[in-house]
Amino acid sequence: MIPELGLIFLIVSTITSILLGIITLAGSYKQNHYLLSYVKVLTGVMTFSLCASITCLLISFVIDDFTVAYVANNSNTQLALIYKVAAIWGGHEGSMLFWVVAMAIWGCIITFSTKYQDRAFINRFIAILALVIAGFCLFMLFTSNPFARLLPNYPVEGRDLNPILQDIGLILHPPMLFLGYVGLAICFSGAISALLGEGLTKQKAAYLRPWALIAWIFLTGGNAFGSWWAYNELGWGGWWFWDPVENASFIPWLVATALLHSVSMTHKRGLFGSTTIFLCILAFSLSLLGTFLVRSGVVQSVHAFASDPTRGVSILVLLIAYSGSALTLFAYKTSNLILKVDFAALSKESLLLLGNLLLVAAALSVLLGTCYPLIYEVVTGATISVGPPYFNSIFIPIAVCVFILMGLTPLIKWQTASVIALKTPAILAVVSLLIAIVFTITSRETFSVWLLLGAFSVLWVMSCIVLSLVLFLTNKNQSNSLGLQANDKRARARFFAMCLAHLGVALSVFGATTVSNFEQEELLRMGPGNGKEVAGYTFVYEETQHVDRASFTAIQAKIMVLDKHENLVTYIYPQRQTFKTNAMQMSAAGIHSSLFGDLYVSMGTALSETEYLIRISYKPFVNWLWIGALFMMFAGCLMIYSLRSVREEKVSDKTPTMANLLSSNEVKP
């Protein structure tokens, strides 16, 4: 009965979302207040129905209702309660339902809590979001029903959740990534609402800016926790491999980063409104494209959710419908508009625009490498693989250019800047490059251009952050270069948030560069009594232990780690696990973590009755990858705090309505 209730609620929410979209658009177009009076009611019903639907799915998991196909395929009576809850988004159908529920909740918050004066903009905003929700609901009803029954022949016991997913990473990574995608859907809806109305004014950009920040924060966390999860769970110590599914979430993050800077300029200076709208559309479209890649089966990955071509085609139809209609509207509205430029070639605006172009270029380069094997196979019938060499050779040089602009831009004035202003940054760049060259030559036997680029990027960004802070603390030229007023607390908070975010990027690049160039690894045949020295540590295999847990049994190696003075550092316990429900085997690495590096030991297959294949790795500063991401997320939260009342600011727009279509600086010829 509960699954049927969940399906009924899903159907009700589908109908309600369609009505909400149509009625609200019609009411806005005709300025019919009677129709618009239903906006809050329909939004509330839609959100309540979706929340009730996912609650029914949760109850089905908790009571082990294996007549529901999704529950039977992703749960088991022995599964811990916390993983039964997380299993809601552990598979395809449930993750889509979670995604739609999150969109509805955010839409409800916008409808009921906003004090934004332009109610017509908000109504169109909600209408577009409702139509997006309707598309996803129809997709679930016809191709991905989470409440599909297995009656009359249903299993007594479930197949269990994939052992790889039985980790804290499942609790953190997918929800954060989906919430980031929801944020992009919010930005998409706001951009289309602006196109349908008077355009993206400063006031509307101020309203969208916190939502863009929220999306970026969750996408940052989703990508970072996904990398951390793979590093800890897969057993081979990889933190990034340019896997197609990794790329599918990384590409929208790159565009969302560009969107953050673009919407900031639109809010502050009334510039690049068309760019902001385009980036909103592009970011949301790329999130849908990533969903298509993950769930269609066109790419093979350990991270992939599903391999059903029917579902893939349906997502592709949604992508074409939403993105195609949005881009068509964008082209129509911008066909007779030109950009009025009021800034010099050397200015903060120019550098920010160039940085955004480079971020989009980086995203498209990753997209090309991800999709090229698919295109090649369709055209030629043969298969080809694109691996890290391509991505490193294309992406890293673009990223270095972005880092150069990241350090330079905060030091340059708005509108116009003198070439003399480049004197100090030029000195910093030369010093950073010389130090990086010396470090690269002396730290390795062979010269590595990737190490050089990484070291230079970190030194350059860090030195520019220090220079920006010095200028701020000494109150030199603040109103011109950094754009701060002495008594503007929110502006100061935004400045510190910017520095913190750039610091987070530098820390992540530092971690990635260090572990990629200085990792040490040994693949050994070890048994009780064997020892090996790796990276100045001695690893001694003491004994093999047998472990019995509720969901798995394991063969566990007890490995003692000694430092160069033969003092005990720690014990590490890598395992070879066998799950009871499906006899699936997997390696669970033993990791000793510190700020300076990880001792990473994984246990492979048995080579004899007493010996096993053991992989020992020393990964210097690998944790700074994720520490940097935490810095970026905290910086985003600080920025949102500084903007807490910006959305309610009264920004006067004195330009005519059509002249203000996309931004206050874009006018008809």
Q: Is the pLDDT of residue 646 over 60?
A: no
Write the pLDDT tens digit of every residue in 322-344: 999 999 999 998 876 666 677 78
pLDDT value for 305: 52
Are residue 155 and residue 209 in the same domain, yes or no?
no
The pLDDT of residue 487 is above 80:
no
Residues 155, 71: one domain?
A: yes
Predicted confidence at residue 514, as pLDDT, reads: 97
3-state secondary structure 642-653: HCCCHHHCCCCC
Same domain, yes or no, for 130 and 195?
Answer: no
**Residue 300 is assigned to a structural domain of this protein:** yes
Q: Evaluate whether residue 422 is within a structural domain.
A: no
Q: Which residue, 386, 406, 423, sits at the end of a domain?
A: 386
Does residue 152 sit in the same domain as residue 187?
Answer: no
Query: Per the structure, how many domains does the chain have?
Result: 3
Residues 149 and 255 in one domain: no
Model confidence over 573-609: pLDDT tens digits?
A: 999 999 988 888 889 999 999 999 999 999 999 999 9
Domain assignment of residue 36, yes or no: yes
Query: Does one domain contain both 530 and 560?
Result: yes
Give domain status of residue 617, yes or no.
yes
pLDDT of residue 374: 83
Residues 88 and 147 in one domain: yes
- The mean pLDDT of 82-111, rounded to a whole number, is 94
Which among 666, 624, 596 is positioned nearest to 198, based on CA atoms?
666
Q: Are residues 197 and 322 in the same domain?
A: yes
Residue-averaged pLDDT of the chain: 89
pLDDT at 300: 56
Cα dihedral 267, 273, 276, 281 in deg (nearest 10):
140
428 part of a folded domain: no
Residue 661 has pLDDT above 50, yes or no: no
Same domain, 123 and 190: no
pLDDT of residue 650: 42
Average pLDDT estimate for 633-653? 70
pLDDT recorded at residue 197:
87
**Do residues 283 and 322 touch, judged by C-beta distance below 8 A?**
no
Residue 633 inside a domain? The answer is no
pTM, full prediction = 0.92
Q: Domain range for residue 283?
A: 177-386
- Asked which of 366, 386, 406 is the last residue of a domain, the reply is 386
Determine which of 383-392, 401-410, 517-526, 657-666 has the lowest per-residue pLDDT on average: 657-666
pLDDT at 19: 97
What pLDDT does 484 receive?
52
DSSP notation for 619-648: EETTTHHHHHHHHHHHHHHHHHHHTTTGGG
Alpha helices in 409-448 (DSSP H): 423-443
Confidence band of 18 (pLDDT split at 50, 70, 90): very high
End-to-end CA distance of the chain, in Å? 63
Question: Does residue 218 form part of some domain?
Answer: yes
Distance (Å, rounded) from C-alpha 175 to C-alpha 254? 19
> What is the mean predicted confidence (pLDDT) over 227-242?
88
Mean pLDDT of 541-546: 95
Residue 478: band (very low, low, confident or very high) from pLDDT cuts 50, 70, 90: very low
Averaged over 474-492, what is the pLDDT? 58
206 and 117 in a single domain? The answer is no
From CA 457, how far away is CA 510, in angstroms rounded? 9
pLDDT at 83: 93
**39 shares a domain with 77:** yes
Given a cut of 80, is residue 497 above it in pLDDT? yes
Q: How far is CA 662 from each of CA 126, 390, 622, rounded to the nearest angstrom?
A: 20, 37, 44
96 pLDDT more than 60 = yes
Does a structural domain hold residue 656? no
Last residue of a domain, one of 580, 606, 622: 622
Q: Are residues 540 and 618 in the same domain?
A: yes
